[in-house]
Structure 1
Amino acid sequence: MKISRLHGYASAIALCTALVAVPAFAQDEAAAADEEVSSLDEIVVTASGRDQTKIETSVSVTSIDAQLIQDFQPSSEAEVFKLIPGIQVPGTSGPGGNSNIAVRGLPVATGGAPFVQLQEDGLPVVLFGDIQFGNNDYWTRFDPSVASIEAVRGGSATTFASQAPGAVINYISNYGREEGGYVELKKGIDYSETQLNFRYGGALTDSMNFHVGGSFKRGRGPLNAGYNLSDSIQVKANVTKEFGDGKGYFRLLFKYADTAEPNYTGAPALATISGGKVSNVRPFPGFDGRTDTNYSLYNQSFLIYNRQGTLERVKMDGITTKQKSIGASFHYELSDNITVDNNARYSDLSGGFASPFLGIATTASVLGSTVNGRTVQAIRYASGPNAGQLYTGTYLDNNVNVKTNIRDLGSFVNDLTIAGKFETGFADLTARVGYFYMDQTIAMDWHVNKSLRELSGNNPSQLDLFDSATSTAAANQITQEGISGYNNNWGNCCARDYDLSYTNTAPYAQLVLDNDTFNLDGSVRFEKVKASGYTIAGGPEFNVNSNGILIPTMTANGTREVLDYSRSYTSWTAGALWKATPDLSIFGRASRGGRFNSDRQTVSGKFNPDGSLCTRAQATALACTDGVTPSVDFVNQYEIGLKNRGNLGDGRYTVEFTLLKGDFKRSDFEPTTTGICPGGGCVIDNSFKTQGAEFFATLRLGGFNFIANATYTKAKQKFTSTRNGTQVAGSANFGRALNIPDLSYSLSANYDVMEIATIGVTAVGQSSTFDGALVYPGKTVFNTNLKVMPLENLEVGLNVYNLFNTYDSRGNGNGTFGGGITGTPVIGRTLTGSVRFSF
């Protein structure tokens, strides 16, 4: 690792960016901080023992408060994470979710957030971050009930949480310790969307307090879909009973959500491609990804062949969730030395995924081709004002209409911890033991239709194929409503139906030795995950009569897998911190964390008939694939860093800087067609390594506040892709990791003007990325906000997202066509107005 280069990078950031935001407020048991208290004085409550401040603990932890997030106006849940160092995410997938969330240069192999756990009040909402069509960012949404978001990277995330060796990101609720709240109406000025936000909390009695908050949202969104795609409600509430003499509390937490939000799957763009580099990216005529989407007024619903064996019309309603949960949190001091904490939650989760994926082909390549055994002679509009007319566009969209039913993603989770703190005369010794239990159900059925539509961002029509250039008779029609196949686009892997259960138990322990000069800690976690259930893949293709047209169809009546196995593994971490001065600490840490590879193991030939995993020995002798080795992925991480606070003139600053190094291996089954899996259906084995740095700084100077975070990594990977035991693609040496920028950053500043107004600016950017073939440019997007307080308790706001309407194709790597590329750009300039009444 070139430490001098990283040190120079940190110095440049510190000198060139005067950065800040209001330091995040201390949470839970931490006392409310006044303006002179540094954010490094906050108690760490996430993936920790909850008894040390940030400056005194040897973990990398960052808190961002609710106001900063609201001012940023993120376009997706994952874009919130661009405010956190170490978390690398495009943030362009839309408010529904389905983002790829990487951490510290450790890339996402096939989707989701495999090494990042999202929590609400200290417990995971779903056990695994990369559940297929059920990623963790579907289920956790920032709303007014949230006081702050706290993120721990590496370190104790490895041993205080399961399935999270990369990071834990915890949404911490407002618990109503201070009376008050607000009602806020937000309205899109240049787009159709209305949102009502609210929260209120305070005392019920001398020893009880409560809080309730949430939002209602409806509209078409900033990418005009032609119909209401956003239709969501989320409400969260809690009640806390404080015990006498300050010995603890008992808290009940409730959540209800019924959401429907779009998932953006890409747009075409024109670009210059030369020498393996992409430049001059600009909108495609008729489909500007900053303002347009392939969700369409003429494709609001479509037919699937359902698990009951009939055709069913379903909504094209993006990512939908239904959530009902109840939780309980208990904290009690049994004596001056012994405390007990127990957190539990029962969740009833279900939902769906319905989206038109984007793929581009030439119209000429379809004309004359064979589809369903017949030669295509004509392409006609299937709907809209041009229905029945010939389609003559140069390009068309030949990707799928997907509908996934998430029948059940419910869970029960409990985390019990007992801690004892003792004085040794030399240092305080804290011993902590805990036991974690979570049972996660994953029950879904997939419906992946072969589809064809015009390439347009203005309510594209589905396209029907005919085997006659002149006749539109049903006898000459090959497709129905633009669909040429039900459930068969990715072959028999993906007309699947499954009902799986994963039970994760994990005893863990920690020892901490702490005095005025140093802090030493070590912790270990013993994981055991039991998998059970079944998966049924697609069977032979057959024809279904769809309004007189015979459409090739698959259903889940093929190979049946039974799962009945368990894996046990150990995660550990050890750290040391030197308190050089009251305002400067230096730390080092090593960690090895495991994560269980759950439903992405299925339909890949890794299971024996009795439900056990195929071993390497069996893979050699039998027709199966080694499932034991890749069933647990291990991440090794090493870090050294410093935390500093102090005065800068009349202001206060904090600086946190960490050097990083890590590696891991991963194996997944990839059902879709990708660059490393042509034709789909591959087992992809990856090895990754990375090194780099994280930087986070704050400054408060009078009415001026600034925050900066940056992540620098050199991430590398090598992979082997195989189908049915035969290598499809691979590399012998490490090369640049896919879709990970070397540098990503966010800068946020705001200034209070005489307590009458606040003006804020945020810049979010990244350097170039690589998709395995091409290097895509990185850009910076600026957002601004203005808040005016004309009367007491009344605030009028204006947020401008993407102020300069920058075409920033962060979600790139979806392929090229002719003189263009496909990708998912940042939403274009949008204006949102708000009115808030506080009370």
Structure 2
Amino acid sequence: MKRVRYLLAVAPLALAVPAAAEPSTPPPPAETRDAAPAAPAQERAAKQVFSTGVAKGRDILDSAISTSSLGEEEVHKLGARSLSEILRTLPGIRVEAASGEGNANYTIRGLPLASGGSKYMQIEEDGLPVLEFGDIFNAASDIFIRADNNLAAIEAIRGGSASTFASNSPGGVINLISKTGDVEGGSVEATTGLDYGEKRVDFEYGSKLSEKLRFHVGGFYRSGEGPRDIGYNGYRGGQVKFNVTRAFDNGFVRLYGKLLDDRSPQYVPAPVHIGGTNDKPTFTPIANFDPKKDALSSTHIGTFLSLDRNNHAVAENFHDGMHAVSRSVGLEAQFEIGGFSFTERARYSANSGDLYRMVPGSIAPAATVAAGIGGAGGTLHYASGPNSGQLIANPTALNGNGLLASVYMAKVKLHALNNFTNDLRANRVWKVGGGDLTVTAGVYKAMQTIDMDWLYSTAIQDVVGGGNAALVDVSNAAGTKLTQNGYAAFAINNLSLLHRAFNVDYDITAPYGSVNYRFGKLAIGGSVRYDVGSVNGTVYGADLGGGRIGLISYDFNHDGKITQAESRTAALPLTQPSPVHYDYRYLSYSVGINYRIAEPLAVFARYSRGARANADKILFTSAINYNSGDLYDSNSAYDTVRQLEGGVKFRRQNIALNLVGFLANSEDQNIQSGSGLGTARTYRAYGAEFEGSVRHGPFSLTAGATWTRSKITKDLLNAAITGLEPRHQPEFTLQLMPQVQTKWATFGASSVTITGSYAQDTNQLRMPGFTVVNAFVQVHPTQQVQLSLNANNLFNTLGYFEISQATMPANGIAWGRAANGRTLSGSVRFSF
């Protein structure tokens, strides 16, 4: 077996602007969480002590790190349809918010997007990670977390010191902080789509049960087709969260829980006509298919057929989309004892569900597909929908575009993504030599299960919007069907590729500590962390080779005959499992210095080295010896990120300005989204981030800009890629949010601009840049009533986050993920 040493890329994903201290994640004291002033997020962050990802909360002008925050009110104004659309409004972050409710792509500071999810950044809920690994293929962290009216604030820290206060997050931490009943009262909010199908109800309430006992409970439920026309209720479900807090004279104890059971569609690359040149392509919608509003999903394509992990036939509801189930229970406690501050956080989450999606393999003229599969004289018939069984007599005129798509229908069965996390720490401040010496020590323990199946089939469907697409059968000139009810294979074409099952457990222990000394205007600090991991489990898949079976024949319709499609059935080699059994360990560290030049002005610098353990992305690669389960090269177990950053922070009443320069060198071994191919690379990125806010009377403005230059410094598998620019890396990302707030109304807009970038790493086809503008109006007829109107993508801009093709396609047909088109929503909120 060939020995491959992968090397990594990318880093974090966190959020905006300099501030804070060294990272971990203690949320702020409950007493300050719930009441967020109605001021711009950056202005509020500048005035508050920042607590996420830090050893001890400090004024951000005394801390050598970069941070951002959003309060509940700012989140409401954004009109975001998903968590990813919220996070994309913060400087320093690159979010491809085009896949729906989950499985969005996140990165930061020029670190590349080789795959989906957030490899180098942790998404946390109340100070603990949602999943230990944020980029589990097909099951990223954002699938199992929702932003609703329980949310008090979002805090984010980006930069190297995040690597020492949280595992697997050398790039940063984003923390969604829940309300805890500090402010008595609650609200009920009803929201409806005005030009799209969705109805939603949010509720939340908190109160004191006694002088030292309080609670908060809330959640949401929704139902509807969603922002794209798919022909059925793709959004169904919601969540309930609660917490109970007992205060003591020297601290508090909090118990909390969450039940999430939610379904939402996953939007995949969809077809579009492409013209022009590689440098200046033009995109034109295909007849009867709007890439901003339509999807390949359809009410007439509702059943998924394949073999499961036991090689038994399954027929399941394809309309379940991304079905996430999470049952969590947790504990948080903070106490001051003998001059020491102790913090304990623990949570267990039972995560499971399913994910269904279809991804184009090819899109071509219907007549070409008929001849390609059926030979000369091949014919086409509808295999589903109201025209099932009818001949498609004129393929060139089919739906006005004459196209058929070969799609890979996928089911990812999430048997268990169960996660247990415990973070115990203590710190103390001593007076030493006229300054403050802060010492922190802690230990982090996490256990993450990844028990899942990948199942694929190939089908033929027409290309039409409005949720009206149907499956299509192909027959030869003699009338013999070469597909079965629209299925061309119960595998990826005639390959066993990616038909997999694996059950692997990750056990992580990480002691950490920090020292910070502040005297006068100067603060110097350093932190260190040592991660020790143990990985054990079993994997199944013909991809592993060694004579393992891949394709078999299976009689799905039980007619005693094997069709061509049934002869192409992917099966698992159940008698040939392969072990996974290896250990790893790595050291992370961070050092920084901050100088408070004057009351409103500070400068800082920091150097950090962190890492991210590789999880499922190396399970089916030659990094592992599938006889012993061990690694051929211990360095394959994790990828490192080295970062140098420095900047200046300025804050006065009604104004805050921050400028940071950065340089990051990173490694990445991964599975590239879209192609499923392995990558092994090193990267370098440098640039600068700006964030600022200004407020004058009723007017306020927040703005952010990130300039980034990056390149692939070495590709270990394809030397031709070395020296080129990573795909999906715009040179500039810009955010802008002006607003006017009066006694009776608040109105404004939020815009995100990205400049052009390459569709793939070969640096041929460039995706044009674009701007998405969201607008909002909030009217307050009384203190208890708020009426809101939100417009998402107000100008209905066509902009692409992803194009699957590397160069201009010969037939002029490409497919990619575009931003959702304009959607309008209205809501009424009653507070009590």
TM-score, length-scaled by structure 2: 0.90
Q: Does 1:598 align with 2:600?
A: no
Give, as a single letter, the amino acid of the residue that structure 2 aligns with 1:532: N
Give, as a single letter, the amino acid of the residue that structure 2 aligns with 1:258: D
Q: Does 1:693 align with 2:688?
A: yes
Q: CA deviation at 1:209?
A: 1.8
Q: 2:298, 2:470 within 8 Å by CA — same for their partners in 1?
A: no
Q: 1:381, 1:461 within 8 Å by CA — same for their partners in 2?
A: no
- Assess, with a 3 A threshold, how the Cα gap between structure 1 residues 203 and 157 changes in structure 2: closer, same or farther: same
Q: CA deviation at 1:716?
A: 1.2
- Assess, with a 3 A threshold, how the Cα gap between structure 1 residues 147 and 637 changes in structure 2: closer, same or farther: same
Aligned to 1:762: 750
* DSSP-derived class of the 1:368 partner: helix
Aligned to 2:122: 117
* DSSP-derived class of the 2:818 partner: coil
**Which structure carries more relative contact order (alpha carbon 8 Å, separation 6+)?**
2
In structure 2, how many angstroms separate the alpha carbons of the residues matched to 1:711 and 1:541? 48
Q: Deviations over 1:750-790 (max 9, x none)?
A: 2123x111112111111001123211111111111111122
In structure 2, how many angstroms separate the alpha carbons of the residues matched to 1:38 and 1:596? 35
Q: Does 1:508 align with 2:512?
A: yes
Which deviates further from its counterpart, 73-82 or 520-529? 73-82
In structure 1, how many angstroms separate the alpha carbons of the residues matched to 2:715 and 2:326? 39
How many residues are aligned here? 777
Q: Deviations over 1:446-486 (max 9, x none)?
A: 11111211112233444344343473xxxx12222221222
* DSSP-derived class of the 2:50 partner: coil
In structure 1, how many angstroms separate the alpha carbons of the residues matched to 2:129 and 2:343? 16
In structure 2, how many angstroms separate the alpha carbons of the residues matched to 1:120 and 1:465? 47
Q: CA deviation at 1:236?
A: 1.2
Aligned to 1:18: none
Match of 1:241 among 246, 268, 284: 246
Match of 1:270 among 250, 273, 291: 273
Aligned to 1:414: 422
Aligned to 1:19: none
Aligned to 2:555: 545
Identity in percent: 31
In structure 2, how many angstroms separate the alpha carbons of the residues matched to 1:513 and 1:359? 58
In structure 2, how many angstroms separate the alpha carbons of the residues matched to 1:654 and 1:321? 40
Q: CA deviation at 1:609?
A: 4.6
In structure 2, how many angstroms separate the alpha carbons of the residues matched to 1:81 and 1:376? 53
* DSSP-derived class of the 1:163 partner: coil
In structure 2, how many angstroms separate the alpha carbons of the residues matched to 1:711 and 1:426? 39
Match of 2:57 among 48, 51, 55: 51
Q: Deviations over 1:614-673 (max 9, x none)?
A: 43xxxxxxxxxxx433221000111001111114xxxx1111111011011111245x76
* DSSP-derived class of the 1:172 partner: strand
Q: CA deviation at 1:490?
A: 8.3
Aligned to 1:173: 178
In structure 1, how many angstroms separate the alpha carbons of the residues matched to 2:323 and 2:579? 28
Q: Does 1:556 align with 2:556?
A: no
Q: 1:379, 1:463 within 8 Å by CA — same for their partners in 2?
A: no
- Assess, with a 3 A threshold, how the Cα gap between structure 1 residues 644 and 444 changes in structure 2: closer, same or farther: same
In structure 2, how many angstroms separate the alpha carbons of the residues matched to 1:696 and 1:518? 23
Which deviates further from its counterpart, 437-446 or 811-820? 811-820
Aligned to 2:591: 574
Q: 1:375, 1:467 within 8 Å by CA — same for their partners in 2?
A: no
* Structure 2: stretches of 5+ with no match in the other structure: 1-15, 18-26, 543-548
Q: Does 1:284 align with 2:322?
A: no
RMSD: 2.2
Match of 1:795 among 782, 786, 790: 786
Give, as a single letter, the amino acid of the residue that structure 2 aligns with 1:422: W
Q: CA deviation at 1:144?
A: 1.0
Aligned to 2:460: 452
Q: 1:30, 1:43 within 8 Å by CA — same for their partners in 2?
A: no
Give, as a single letter, the amino acid of the residue that structure 2 aligns with 1:411: N
Match of 1:306 among 271, 290, 308: 308
Match of 2:343 among 341, 344, 354: 341
Q: 1:564, 1:610 within 8 Å by CA — same for their partners in 2?
A: no
Aligned to 2:723: 734
In structure 1, how many angstroms separate the alpha carbons of the residues matched to 2:436 and 2:130? 34
In structure 2, how many angstroms separate the alpha carbons of the residues matched to 1:490 and 1:426? 74
Match of 1:367 among 366, 370, 388: 370
Q: Deviations over 1:232-280 (max 9, x none)?
A: 2111111111112xx2111111111001011110222233332x22343
TM-score, length-scaled by structure 1: 0.89
Q: 2:408, 2:492 within 8 Å by CA — same for their partners in 1?
A: no
Aligned to 2:709: 714
* Structure 1: stretches of 5+ with no match in the other structure: 1-12, 15-24, 616-626, 675-679, 723-728
Q: CA deviation at 1:829?
A: 1.2
Aligned to 1:383: 384
In structure 1, how many angstroms separate the alpha carbons of the residues matched to 2:387 and 2:421? 53
- Assess, with a 3 A threshold, how the Cα gap between structure 1 residues 266 and 612 changes in structure 2: closer, same or farther: closer
Give, as a single letter, the amino acid of the residue that structure 1 aligns with 2:824: L
- Assess, with a 3 A threshold, how the Cα gap between structure 1 residues 206 and 226 changes in structure 2: closer, same or farther: same
Give, as a single letter, the amino acid of the residue that structure 2 aligns with 1:369: G
In structure 2, how many angstroms separate the alpha carbons of the residues matched to 1:721 and 1:544? 40
* DSSP-derived class of the 1:149 partner: strand
In structure 1, how many angstroms separate the alpha carbons of the residues matched to 2:494 and 2:67? 41
Q: 1:586, 1:641 within 8 Å by CA — same for their partners in 2?
A: yes
- Assess, with a 3 A threshold, how the Cα gap between structure 1 residues 730 and 376 changes in structure 2: closer, same or farther: farther
Q: 2:93, 2:106 within 8 Å by CA — same for their partners in 1?
A: yes
- Assess, with a 3 A threshold, how the Cα gap between structure 1 residues 154 and 748 changes in structure 2: closer, same or farther: same
Aligned to 2:822: 829
Q: CA deviation at 1:294?
A: 1.1
Q: 1:360, 1:395 within 8 Å by CA — same for their partners in 2?
A: no
Aligned to 1:397: 405
Alignment of 1:485-496 (within 5 A): 485-489=489-493, 491-496=495-500
Q: 2:52, 2:127 within 8 Å by CA — same for their partners in 1?
A: yes
Aligned to 1:427: 435
Aligned to 1:622: none
- Assess, with a 3 A threshold, how the Cα gap between structure 1 residues 629 and 460 changes in structure 2: closer, same or farther: farther
Q: Does 1:134 align with 2:150?
A: no
Alignment of 1:784-823 (within 5 A): 784-814=775-805, 817=809, 818-823=811-816
Give, as a single letter, the amino acid of the residue that structure 1 aligns with 2:780: M
Give, as a single letter, the amino acid of the residue that structure 1 aligns with 2:599: P
Aligned to 2:523: 519
In structure 2, how many angstroms separate the alpha carbons of the residues matched to 1:122 and 1:593? 19
Q: Deviations over 1:164-206 (max 9, x none)?
A: 0011111011111111211000001111100101111121211
* DSSP-derived class of the 2:87 partner: helix
Give, as a single letter, the amino acid of the residue that structure 2 aligns with 1:528: V
Q: Deviations over 1:78-119 (max 9, x none)?
A: 222212222111211112x11121111101223221101100
In structure 1, how many angstroms separate the alpha carbons of the residues matched to 2:403 and 2:126? 48
Q: 2:224, 2:236 within 8 Å by CA — same for their partners in 1?
A: yes
Aligned to 1:256: 259
